[in-house]
Structure 1
């Protein structure tokens, strides 16, 4: 259908709010750098840490998954009565910068800050599970401490495995794991204790 012989309608009115009506334009999620298949692959790598890691897994580093995981972690803690949004993002930022500096001092090839933040964010996934458990059960007890310790070890093992695979520094895994374990230990403290109350 044409109006005045010059303008043609392309489709329904809602196509004006998408890029699908414009020929040659990539989908909106692809433009934003969000690839659900890559997020799934990286999440499964973290959840199955003993499986062999592909050394090219972080070639396409993204922050979509890590931001969602951090937000879910903060949301679960909010539901459990621990509003820690500021602390979580503060610890994540300072931890990412610190690990970035340490890895670049330790490795010959080096790594960019974007990939460091991506790995640390994806490996937060077991801690998100502990945050979900804290909504239903209190973590201030032997079982809560044990779950937190397991999640710290899981997150640390996954993150150190990804870093040493990508940077090819397998003989330095314990040196890489130590500061990463301290970082995830801070997240575990946030999930077990109400930091706002403790600081007051």
Structure 2
């Protein structure tokens, strides 16, 4: 049955048209699986969980830092993120035999920001410049580093080099923890 041009102005559905979220490439099931694998890194991780890449973790961190704290810091956040992403991408490709693509590197680093998002959310309510902020920042850095290094060594199958991967990743997350603590 042919569809007329007036069908564009009606509310009728086209046959065999995919849902809007599927058409845009938004899959809440994958986002949930990625978030759970970051927030609970003690469970076994599927090697293909980060096949689809996005930057939702980094964007939520930037929103918590900027929108809720009232300080405009997009240039610092994205500048440090860009430099860290390029550095981690180069280091991982030099260390592994198979290599990793840049989008997957950014996705893993972005999703592993979720503990840092929790820290930045707490910085809205609490003043984190004292010993409590120091302890919470160290805990958040270790959590992010543990999750990211586990994801990278799982994806790249290089479990013997986990500490070598964790060191630069930990430095990157330390820079973001400093941004959170020094924001006020």
Alignment TM-score, normalising by the size of structure 1: 0.83
Give, in angstroms, the shift of residue 29 of structure 1. Answer: 2.1
- The counterpart of 1:77, out of the listed 60, 65, 78, is 65
**1:189 equivalenced with 2:181 (yes/no):** no
CA RMSD, Structure 1 to Structure 2 (Å): 2.1
- Structure 1 residue runs of 4 or more that deviate by more than 3 Å after TM superposition: 6-15
Q: Which residue of 2 aligns with 1:29?
A: 21
Q: Are the equivalent residues in 2 in contact too, given 1:74–1:88 (CA < 8 A)?
A: yes
Alpha carbons 1:139, 1:145 under 8 Å: kept: yes
> Cα offset for 1:51?
0.9
From 115, 121, 134, the equivalent of 1:126 is: 115
Q: Identify the residue that residue 18 of structure 1 maps to in structure 2.
A: none
In 2 relative to 1, CA 86–8 (structure 1 residues): closer, same or farther, beyond 3 Å?
closer
Once residues 145 and 81 of structure 1 are traced to their aligned partners in structure 2, the CA distance between those partners, rounded to angstroms, is 22
TM-score norm. by structure 2 comes to 0.90
| 1:70-90 deviation digits (Å, cap 9, x = unpaired) | 233223223224421121111
Stretch moving more, 167-176 or 87-96: 87-96
Matched, 1:39 2:31: yes
For 2:73 and 2:5, locate their aligned partners in 1 and report how far apart those are by CA, in whole Å.
53
Residue ranges of structure 2 left out of the alignment (5+ in a row): none
Aligned to 2:45: 53
The alignment covers a number of residue pairs equal to 181
Larger radius of gyration: 1
Name the CA distance, whole Å, in 2 between partners of 1:23 and 1:47: 40
CA contact (8 A) 2:58 2:111 kept: no
What residue number does 2:94 align with?
Answer: 105
Preserved contact between residue 33 and residue 62 of structure 1 (Cα < 8 Å):
no
1:170 aligns with 2:137: no
